[in-house]
Structures are given as C-alpha cells and as structure tokens.
Amino acid sequence: MTRATDGSPIRHDDTPIVATSTASGAGARAMIRTSGRGVLDGLADRIHGEAASLLAQGQRGCGRGIWVMADGSELPVIVFIAIAPASFTGEDVVEIQVPGNPDLADLIAREIRDHLEVRLGAARLAGPGEFSARAFFNGRMSIAEATSIAASIAADRDVDLESVERMRRTHGGRAMAALSDRLLSVVARLEAAIDFTDEEDVIGCTVEELQSSMEPIQAELRELVEASEVVTESANRAPRITLVGRPNAGKSSLFNALLGMERVVVAPAAGTTRDVIEAEITLASTDAPIDHPVSIRLLDTAGLDSTDQSLSEIDQAASTASRDAITDADLILACRTAADPRPQITQDTPIIDVITKIDLEAPVDASPASVATSSLTGQGLARLRSRVAEWASQRHLGSDAVVGWRTLARTALHRTEEALQGLEGQPPKHAPLHPETTVAACRSAAEAVGRLEGEFDPDAVLDLVFGRFCIGK
C-alpha cells in the first residue's frame, strides 16, 4: 500500500496534502503544492496582495502575493490557483512559488500543513506519488500517464527520453484498453456459446478470431516492455557524483572524508590529483523521507584550470579526463573555498555548491543552499551526505515506478502469450477445442492488460507505481 511520509497508509480522500514539488537542491524558484478540500479558504488569511483576491473569489489564475510567515515576516511569492475539477488532481489546488532555497521551501511547506491543520481540522505532508494518485482516483490520469511522469523523472539520457516517448505512443489514447475490450467481446461470445449450446441464434467465435484479437495486444506489449526496460536500466546503475573545482580546492580531502578512508593522496601543493579517481559508496539520509540507503559512484577529478593552453601534455590529459567526467556526471559537487567564486559549469546538470576548508576560513554571506564543510573536523559532512542521498533516492524513485510498470506489462505479455500458445495447432475456422480453458486464459490476459489502466486490484497497482514516485508528484 502506498504510504505517507510518516509511514501510514495513504488514504484516498480529500484531506489537504502539502509538499515541495520541485527537484531537490537550489534553483531560482521552488514550488510548494497543496491540494484538497478547503485549501482556498484555508490559505486566504496567510496570502495577501493580488493573489488574495483570486483565493477570495475562488477563481483560477496566477498572481503575485505576500506569504505571511508564522513569525509575522512577509515573503514575496507567486501563487497559482486551479479550481476543481479542472486541476491536475481534480481537486482545488494552490501552488506557491518561493525563492529557490530548499530549507525555506521545506519551512513553508510545513507552515502550510500546520496552518491548514488548524483552520480545517486536518492536513498532512504528501507521500510519494500522492498527488498523481489523487489524479488517478479522480479520473484525471491513467496509470499509463502516471508511469510516463515517473519515467520522465527517471530519464537521465537521451535514449531514456526516447523510450519514454515510445511508452507514451504505445499506450497513448488508451489503445491497449480498446484492444482488451475487443478481446473481451470475442470471449463473451465464446462464453455465451458454452452457456447456451442449445440456442441456435447464439454465435460463438473461432480460433482465428481469438488469435486476431490477441496478436495486436502481444505486439503492443512487447514494444511497451522493451521501451520500459531501456528506462529502468538506469535503476540498476549507481549515479555518478563528480567533485569539480580548481586545483587545491579541497576536492580530494572531501573525497576521502566521504569515503571514510584515505583513497586519494592529499598534499598542500596544487595539482596532486592527476587521474579521475572513482569509488562506490552507500549513503543514507537523515533529513528526507527515504527508507533505504542508496549507492553512488563518487569521482574525484583533477583541478580545473582556465589556462589549459599553457599546461604540460600530462596536465592537459588530466584536464581532458576531468572534463569528460563532468560531462558524464549525474550530479556535480562544485567545490570551492570560502574565498573562491563558484566554479563555472555550463552544462545542464544538477549542482550542489560545496564550500570546503571552513576550518581555515569561515564562509561569509553564503547561500543557505550551499553546504559548508570541513574534511578535517567533519563539519557539514552529514548534511552533504544527506543532500546527495536525497537527490539520488528521488532519482531512483522515478525509475522504480517504471520497474513496477514493467512488472505489470511483463505479466500481461506472459499471459497473452500463454493464451495464444493454447490455441496453437487448432483449426483456425473452428471453435476452440477446449472452450472453458480458452476462456479462462483469455480473461486472465485481458485482466492483466486492464491492470495497466488501473483496473482489477487498484491497491496492487498503487503500490507498484505511485508508491515509488517522488514526493510532490
């Protein structure tokens, strides 16, 4: 059963739920999403400005406003309001955009939860996939569409995104459900022929009709399974976390500290690290709702130097290897001392700003999204491990959801193939030789296909798919 962040089963009701729905880490903006009964009235006294009139009128729209913090201070925000049933979840939804500080977003999410709990009598932080689960229960989303969201979250390569699009095309427009309905209509005729053998006007079906109904389903399922397997390949690959920074920025010391062992030689002189050093470690988060440790590949690189043209041939080779490691990184730890600017990294890869050597120089006016560390004293290392573990776990949540989807698709394919194998060698223009067995096999295949749309045992589908989503989706 899908569970909320406190471990309790998710209740399929309209109690207000709240979560930060943007990716972990710093950004220009963070968004807190809330959905459920009474959220418009519940938040009306905490939001002022242009957005307040939209809330008061129960009107869909987007406007600037002021969020009044619990301590009375005011924070400029942008508020989007969607009115049921024309919203993502099918319920009233309020989304609040705030400055992209993860700690600030978390604080406001909890303030919203606490305030709604007081005003409305009930509210809670959302569990993984709970917004999408509500969309499913309210008829706003199919299981296939939900899995496409999870797959898009999981995709970190172009080939993954192409496979997501193949999954969408294969199951787009509920094509599989239409094929399943056609199969069931043919099976119903066969059942009628069994039940009313003495009625002349009851027409059964032939082996050929059953085969022509199931073969398109088999072809669609094979393509669906193939596409989902490409996406879930990333679930079995530990993400690559690369330490990047100028020479002598404390990368190797941080690498050793995170590993808990002296893997890399550390020296005061810049340029000690020449090769890309890689090691696999397991991390757990103490701050995020993660119920399992995650494995990562940690890479230490040679320092980036802006004067590559003047480097020796060996140093240029080290610099090239470092840049290749940056290109292949899933997450970058941009390392710098308090006196240094943040490394300039142009590629579109998630970045955590890491300030090193704070035992030597304390940071001044550092962003709250930055992580200040000391490899010597251990200060900040737990927070950094937690931030990386949270990012890695949410990355795998998306691919794990597709693993659940693939399980459903594989089961449907297996049962369809079993039903077709049972018809092999039978005269195509005649009724099946064993009609009762054929009916059972065909209905089993149709029900397995139906599970791809959330039919037949929805709790099992929720556990496989929505329970493995990211928080806030």
> Which amino acid does the sequence have at 72?
G
Please give the share of the chain, as a percent, with pLDDT higher than 70.
Answer: 69
For the chain, which residues make up each domain, given as ranges?
A: 17-137, 144-224+407-468, 240-394
State how far the Cα of 373 lies from the Cα of 254, in Å rounded to an integer: 8
pLDDT digits 0-9 by tens, 386-442 = 888 877 776 655 555 566 667 878 888 999 999 999 999 999 998 899 989 998 998
**Can you give the pLDDT at residue 7?**
42
Are the C-beta atoms of residues 105 and 448 closer than 8 Å to each other? no
pLDDT greater at residue 44 or residue 305: 44
Q: Report residue 172's pLDDT band, with 50, 70 and 90 as the boundaries.
A: very low
* pLDDT tens, position by position, 345-367: 777 778 899 999 999 988 877 77
Rounded CA-CA distance 417/112 in Å is: 51
For 122-143, the pLDDT digits (tens) are 898 887 667 877 887 787 876 6
* pLDDT tops 70 at residue 443: yes
Count CB neighbours of 73 within 10 A. 9
Task: Report DSSP state, residue 9.
Answer: B
pLDDT of residue 235 exceeding 50, the answer is: yes
The answer to whether 23 touches 102, Cβ cutoff 8 Å, is no
Which residues, at least 6 apart from 226, have a Cβ–Cβ distance to it below 8 Å? Answer: 166
Report the Cα 27 to chain-centroid distance in Å: 18
Within the chain, what is the greatest distance between any pair of CA atoms? 95
Reported as a pLDDT band with limits 50, 70 and 90, residue 4 is very low
CATH match of 17-137 with 3.30.1360.120:
yes
List CB contacts of 263: < 8 A, sequence separation 6 or more: 255, 256, 277, 279
| Percent composition of the chain: helix, strand, coil (DSSP 3-state, to 5) | 45, 15, 40
Distance between CA atoms of residues 187 and 446, nearest Å: 10
CATH number of 144-224+407-468: 1.20.120.430
The predicted pLDDT at position 458 comes to 43
Q: What CATH number was assigned to the domain covering residues 240-394?
A: 3.40.50.300
Distance CA(141)–CA(290), nearest Å, equals 26
Q: Work out the average pLDDT over 156-166.
A: 56
Q: Which of 308, 247, 297 is nearest to 273 (CA)?
A: 247
Q: How far is CA 344 from CA 144, 341, 353, 406, 420, in A?
A: 39, 9, 11, 39, 58
